[in-house]
Chains A and B, each alone.
Chain A
């Protein structure tokens, strides 16, 4: 018994010493700008408030996502660009998507320099973000424009979230978006209490607003959890960060599986209605709707073409589905960060150009 307790005691002491050494090493590495990927690996496990706090205090640091993709900022920028457009008769491609969509349209615009493009995007943006952006930007599109709605398969579970901060644990960009629910023949929009980076920054000094925000997240957002938002003090220990990352990853994966396999959140129905309403709205405004269906390489993703194909065919909506051109199971088509290779993006861009060059004039 004595020996077993000695081993246990030495194990705990060694764990403490090892954790302290790792913490010292990470502090030194961060101060001296070395071992960047190792520092990032351990940073992934910080609590969401811990990561956001770190981003707030180091605004210029690489990978800082605090100020990206807030919808009110994007709408304001869109308004400025809209006002600056010199020839209102030149149709503009107005895209609502994420990096995948941007990569494709950028290649298309490079290939055909007569095209004009106005991008609205968020990192790993879910369809409720892209659709909400499309709705919010309505005043800054003209008749004759091409509206592109991006749907990324790996972001479909985010339709049950109000912000990337609850379901993209490792890179919890705080920008927010609504959750949509089926209602009647259309959709009901539940807007987040926090709508801008400025508003988010003030939460730290306003405990009741913070409590309201967290209450809304716990009520409406399927991914919000104590594992990711509580016990910020534990961020001091690299070991605790690793444990948190494991718990958080497991929680997010489980929630994604629950959304995919149960009727708690009817993502397929909502997605179909989004596509239908997007097309109806664009057409009623004299614009040409195109849906871009991006199938990423995660094996468990929803098949976004299969989910939307009925409504696309029924309404005759133009679309570009990546899975019709490249098998998403082929790893040679992707770069290590999960995006398509430039060659594949070029192929999609050619398909996109073919779509828009064959458009019937309005």
Chain B
């Protein structure tokens, strides 16, 4: 960190680039070649596209970028899945083929950095962005280590200027970054890792009760939020300490009261990417209601498939698309997220009830997401609605006390952001109160850091 502070701006960038490549190579150095391929292709495509005046040539260059990046994704992420599905389909039609299995290792973070670099070439194609001439700055944009493996999926418009221009390193940014890291660690280690054994026990149980499934899915909703937003907080915190500003990826998603509001609060960098580069490219809402619903469904199904090469992710995407379409049909569009809005006590009460009701709708989506197979989805759904016989009672292992304390803390924290509309609501608090708050948070982290830790869920995507 000291060396980083003392280095001039360009040398800082080179240092970060080397650090990013070392970071990625620590997992598997061979897959660094994919990042380099994506970087080289998109850098030169960007430069050529900017110079090119003929629209047909620009389009060809864009297709080249799409083919390389989506081709990598198709091979490393989806080829095995489609091969298996093809075999299943042929088998179900009564034909016999020699079974084969493709053992392709999924490179960590490939879905994130390919989408990030694709946004660069698409923005240049749309003339929304100028191509960068500094190859190493572009390489750092693709491989910036804090957000390389699980986002946020940054836009070139935001991150490239942050890389190209000298950054201001301040004590305030350092302290704000440290707080973000602390919150992220509490979310991941105390809550997500604390809840994981309870969730896993039910989702691997051969005969769970209805209550087991309900509790496990509630806990999974909290686990995945804390796991993923915890990673994002740490990524943003580390970046902030280094003088970068990464985009906000979560805005208290479980305070949403509708599917539209949920997607404005959950994995914001992906949902806005899908909106800007897929939904709008498909025509958005410009072709009338039927095409709008078709585009919504297509976007969300592909968004589901982005998460993983499995049918349950497709089902999750279809469920989310269906919810968005249904909501649009019934209620129409809604403009704001609700964060920081002043309300009467009665309005808050009604909102809390709606939040609780909509949370159940979100949770069924998480059941689709967490299920290990399509068979488990039908089995669990059958148990929930009483079509499949299930034992009575509750056998889910109780979560540790620290995780429950962590959830209470997080609820308090997110509620204060929601009410104040300010993510740094605590910045105006007296120094002594802030010191006591941070000490309490550090103690809570130590209190909960006793359970076994596991990899971030979103690393697999």
* A250 contacts partner chain B, Cβ-Cβ < 8 Å: yes
How far apart are the CA atoms of A4 and B397 in the complex, in Å? 42
| B388 on the A face (CB < 8 A) | no
B392 CB to nearest chain A CB (Å): 10
CB distance from B126 to the nearest CB of A (A): 41
From known contacts A253-B452, A336-B398, infer whether A7 and B205 are also in contact, taking CB-CB under 8 Å: no
CA A91 to CA B327, docked complex, whole Å? 74
**Min distance, Cβ A241 to any Cβ of chain B, angstroms:** 9
Q: Which residues of A contact B208 (CB under 8 A)?
A: 331-332
**Contact digits for A21-61, partner B, Cβ 8 Å, 1 yes 0 no:** 01000000000000000000100110000000000000000
Known contacts being A18-B439, A332-B391, is A10 close to B446, with CB within 8 Å?
A: no
Give chain B nearest CB distance to A35 CB in angstroms.
12
- Also in contact, A14 and B205, with CB within 8 A (given A239-B446, A242-B447, A336-B397): no
List, in ascending order, chain A residues with CB within 8 A of B436's CB: 10, 14
| CA gap between A243 and B212 in the complex, in Å | 32
Instruction: Check A331–B205 contact: CB distance below 8 A.
Output: yes
For residue A361, CB closer than 8 A to chain B, the reply is: no
- When distances are taken between beta carbons in the complex, the residues of chain B under 8 Å from A5 are 171
Once the chains are docked, how many angstroms separate the CA of A336 from the CA of B438?
33
Q: Does the CB pair B431–A10 fall under 8 Å?
A: yes
* A15 close to chain B: CB less than 8 A: yes
| Contact indicator per residue, chain A 175-189, by CB within 8 Å of chain B (1) or not (0) | 000000000000000
Asked whether any CB of chain A lies closer than 8 Å to the CB of B443, the reply is yes
* Number of chain B residues close to chain A: CB under 8 A: 38
Q: Which of B94-102, B196-204, B356-364 forms part of the interface with chain A?
A: B196-204
> Is residue B435 contacting chain A, with contact meaning CB distance below 8 A?
yes
Q: How many A-B residue pairs have CB under 8 A?
A: 100
Q: Which residues does chain A contribute within 8 Å of B401, judged by CB atoms?
A: 41
B443 touches A18 (CB 8 A): yes
Interface flags, A225-251, vs B, CB<8A=1, else 0: 000000000000001001101100110
Residue pair B200, A299 in contact (C-beta under 8 Å): yes
Q: How far is the CA of A297 from the CA of B202 in the complex (A)?
A: 12
- Smallest beta-carbon distance A201→chain B, Å: 29
Given B207, B438, B449, which contacts A14 in the complex, CB threshold below 8 Å?
B438
Q: Which B residues, 392 to 406, have Cβ-Cβ distances below 8 Å to chain A? A: 393, 395-398, 401
B386 at the interface (CB under 8 A from A): no
B175 within 8 Å of A by Cβ?
yes
Q: Which residues of B contact A299 (CB under 8 A)?
A: 200, 204
The 0/1 profile, CB within 8 Å of A marked 1, for residues 332-349 of chain B is: 000000000000000000
Q: How far is the CB of B156 from chain A (nearest CB, A)?
A: 32
Q: Are B446 and A246 in contact (CB under 8 A)?
A: yes
Contacts of B438 in A (CB 8 A): 7, 11, 14
Residues of A within 8 A of B435 (CB): 6-14
- For residue A330, CB closer than 8 A to chain B, the reply is yes
Please pick, from A7, A15, A45, A239, the residue contacting B175 in the complex, using a CB distance under 8 A: A7
A183 to B61 Cα, complex, angstroms: 65
B420 interface hit (Cβ, 8 Å): no
Task: Report the Cα distance A11→B175, complex, angstroms.
Answer: 12
Q: Which parts of B239-286 form the interface with A (CB within 8 Å)? A: none
B451 contacts chain A at the CB level, 8 A cutoff: yes
CB distance from A40 to the nearest CB of B (A): 12
**Bound Cα distance A18, B452 (Å):** 25
Query: Known interface pairs A1-B171, A11-B438, A253-B452. Does A331 touch B446 (Cβ–Cβ under 8 Å)?
Result: no
- Contact string against B for A residues 118-144, beta-carbon threshold 8 Å, 1 for contact and 0 otherwise: 000000000000000000000000000
Could you jot down 29 A-B contacts, CB within 8 Å? A6-B431, A6-B435, A7-B175, A11-B438, A12-B435, A14-B436, A19-B443, A44-B450, A242-B446, A242-B450, A246-B446, A249-B450, A249-B452, A297-B201, A329-B201, A330-B206, A330-B207, A331-B202, A331-B208, A331-B212, A331-B395, A331-B396, A331-B397, A332-B205, A332-B208, A332-B209, A332-B393, A332-B395, A336-B398
New A-B pairs, 6, CB < 8 Å, besides A3-B431, A22-B443: A9-B435, A10-B431, A11-B434, A17-B439, A19-B443, A331-B212
A interface list, Cβ under 8 A from B: 1, 3-15, 17-19, 22, 41, 44-45, 239, 242-243, 245-246, 249-250, 253, 297, 299, 327, 329-332, 336
Q: Which residues of B contact A (CB under 8 A)?
A: 171-172, 174-175, 200-202, 204-209, 212, 391, 393, 395-398, 401, 431-432, 434-436, 438-440, 442-443, 446-447, 449-453
The 5 tightest CB contacts between A and B, nearest first, are: A10-B435, A14-B439, A332-B395, A4-B171, A246-B449
